[in-house]
Structure 1
Amino acid sequence: MSTEQTTTGSDFSYELTRTLDAPVGRVWQAWTTPDQYARWAYAAPGSVEMDVRPGGAWKATMVTPDGGEAPLTGSFLEVAENRLLVVGMDVPGRPEPSRMTVKLDADGGRTRIALHQTCGTAEERAVSEQGSTMLLDSLTAFLAEGA
């Protein structure tokens, strides 16, 4: 596994990239199958619902490290199987959803994943980037288990 991190200061966006030791189809399934997603993405069991198609809705209840729960909702804005997910995440108090782009590139039996998000403030960026880093760490561990 390799990791790169880029934060751009002017527009509150960040991009995280990693090379994962799993084929692209396996990474896609982990990201788009509710039961698999719940196992690595800190979601409460049974809380994940996904309609993985453009315009399809998703929801999950995330469990925080202190045991709290945070319900999340949104929609899939773009979907290209095994290559691209653009996810809209509803943010209370904001008229437009936050957009997270997940790009997958096959590299032999490995996958290069690039996660990009633009946030509204520096504080939102810091929290989102920390959460995304935790997600990629957990995804890496999940894939290593071969589950």
Structure 2
Amino acid sequence: MAFITVETLINAPVNAVWEKWTSPEHVQQWNFAAPDWHCPKATIDLQVGGEYHYEMAAKDGSVSFDFWGTYLEINPEESLHIFIGDGRNMQVTFETTEAGTKVTEHFEPENENPEDLQQEGWQMILNNFKSYAENPTS
């Protein structure tokens, strides 16, 4: 099965990027693809075998779901290997470059939506993360 890849370059050091990626209070501030959605609740048990749960919800209350996964491998400030709750694999890498921290997500597509739509949605969330991680007050 082919993986979908999204990535961004963040003008911030890897330790700050990692903190904002792995702390529930930060995840709630960036983990949504559109302004009419939000992440009202997030929990993270950052250890091998631990789970994360992100409540993804429309702000009007019309729909919500639990996006969750289990950590299979954790290399602090370098990578995460995750088994998403719906049975897909995902890898997130954090790479220090001269221009900042490159964050790359590789994930197996799901079967409900076209791959280009999935890539677009995940890229929008990653773009939100970039904006949040580059904000010195966040």
TM-score (structure 1 length as normaliser): 0.78
CA change 1:44–1:119 in 2 (3 A) is: closer
Unaligned ranges ≥5, structure 2:
33-37
Q: Distance in 1 between matches of 2:112 and 2:25?
A: 33
Percent identity over paired residues: 21
What is the 5 A alignment of 1:50-129? Answer: 50-64=44-58, 67=61, 68-91=63-86, 97-108=87-98, 110-121=100-111, 123=113, 125-129=115-119
Which segment drifts farther, 101-110 or 59-68? 59-68
Q: Distance in 1 between matches of 2:114 and 2:74?
A: 25
CA change 1:100–1:66 in 2 (3 A) is: farther
Alpha-carbon deviations, 1:58-105, whole Å to 9, x = none? 1111124765311222211111000001122112xxxxx211110011
Output the aligned Cα RMSD. 2.1
Which residue pairs with 1:44 in the alignment? 39
- By relative contact order (CA 8 Å, sep 6+), the higher-ranking structure is 2
Equivalent pair of 2:89/2:107 in contact (CA under 8 Å)? yes
Q: Distance in 2 between matches of 1:124 and 1:25?
A: 34
Unaligned ranges ≥5, structure 1:
1-10, 92-96
Q: Distance in 2 between matches of 1:56 and 1:25?
A: 21
Number of equivalent positions = 131
